[in-house]
Amino acid sequence: MMDAYDANLLVCSHSRMVTDRGVCVCPILIDAPDARLGATLNESLRPFALKHQACHTCWQYGALCANPSSQERDV
């Protein structure tokens, strides 16, 4: 599914969610035990398999939970 897909569109390719329980791969998956990548940012700098339904949704529709700051906004 990743053939010819820009992985930078996925939040997990460039961001992490830091919580009081550790560092997670994605804000949507903070309650999934396997989404916790470690206790520190350094430990979290590793790949994560796209195996959750949220991963498929993010791949299909884009990172809906990301801040669309690069898009023009109405004033």
pLDDT (tens digit, 9 = 90+) per residue, 19-37?
999 999 998 899 999 999 9
Please give the pLDDT value at position 67: 53
- Burial status of residue 74 (CB atoms within 10 A of its CB: 0-12, 13-18, 19 or more): exposed
Please give the pLDDT value at position 73: 46
User: What is the rounded (10 degree) CA torsion for 74, 6, 28, 45?
Assistant: -120
pLDDT (tens digit, 9 = 90+) per residue, 54-74?
888 888 877 666 655 555 545
